[in-house]
Amino acid sequence: MASVARKIIKSFSPKSQPEGVGAVVRRCIGGSRNYLDPFLMCDFATVSQPDGFPDHPHRGFETVSYILEGAIAHEDFAGHKGVIKAGDIQWMTAGRGIVHAEMPAPSASALQLWVNLPSTEKMCKPAYQELQDANIPRATPEEGITIKVIAGESHGVKSPVFTRTQTMIMDFSLAANKKVEQPVPKGWNGFVYVIDGDGFFGGDRFLGKANHALFLDEERQGEYFPVETGDESVRFMLFAGKPLEEPVVHYGPFVMNTEREILQTLYDYEHYKNGFELAKNFRSSIAEKI
């Protein structure tokens, strides 16, 4: 039986909106229960000092921060501190609780993706996986095609990132007049964000342009995703993940499975319990100007 290509069913250009303190984001996913299981939110953000994302909590999911230009400083209540530069990735598992700040150093353009955790992992111990640009593996199936494998596998090249929720994230660059096919497991949801240029995406050769989000068909029966360029080059990111098919209750920076768990989370955060003990005396140094 011949393999089936995934198609694009919808596309839109996310409008710029404010977020954090003075940041501007293009939100592909998120808000008003606009989820794409297992993805909760996806923002492409631009921010400059003194603005940013000062001290705030998370529980129940993972954040993936990928720096496109500039740099972002990060600091949390457990003493984890550093700077993520252009091309670097930080995969943060908030688990049972993190309070942190993310601030431009001095400016940045970046992706942040929220990946839901299964119910069995929502209260896991917080953790970080960080890779500098040079250590993110690349697949080069032919000249003029480069694929940064942030999570998952492409053309025999695997990312070292451990994904508690089965996920693939890739940064594709194709020169003009090139074609590539990326396997995507049956049953997975997926979407594309076009960073620059344009190309033809999916089995229906949908024309995707810069700053547009494209969503793969909901039937999820295809086994691969083709992309082809014409006279222009294209750079885009592909996101795909296995749906958790669990209830989602989202309240601000907390994502759990039930309202009762959200109420417990609010109690824990306000009373510095069950993962938020270190929040009581925490004030980040990188956000002290705000």
pLDDT value, residue 219: 87
Closest CA to 190 of 47, 38, 51: 38
pLDDT tens digits for range 82-99:
999 999 999 999 999 999
User: Does residue 35 contact residue 248 with C-beta atoms inside 8 Å?
Assistant: yes
Widest Cα–Cα separation across the chain:
61
How many CA atoms lie less than 13 Å away from 280 in the CB half-sphere?
A: 8
- 232 labelled as ligand-binding? no
Query: Which parts of the chain have pLDDT scores under 70?
Result: 1-2, 31-33, 289-290
Instruction: Give CA–CA dist 185/275, Å, rounded.
Output: 35
**DSSP code for 266:** H
User: Does residue 97 contact residue 271 with C-beta atoms inside 8 Å?
Assistant: no
- 271 labelled as ligand-binding? no
- 212 labelled as ligand-binding? no
pLDDT value, residue 3: 83
**Structure-token match 């964000």, residue found:** 193
Domain 8-241 homologous superfamily, CATH? Jelly Rolls (2.60.120.10)
Instruction: Give CA–CA dist 192/235, Å, rounded.
Output: 10
- 74 labelled as ligand-binding? no
pLDDT value, residue 2: 55
Instruction: Give CA–CA dist 197/180, Å, rounded.
Output: 16
Closest CA to 194 of 204, 206, 184: 206
pLDDT tens digits for range 9-67:
999 999 999 999 999 999 999 865 589 999 999 999 999 999 999 999 999 999 999 99
Give domain limits for the chain. 8-241
**Structure-token match 């956000």, residue found:** 287
Four-CA torsion 202, 28, 60, 269, nearest 10 degrees:
180
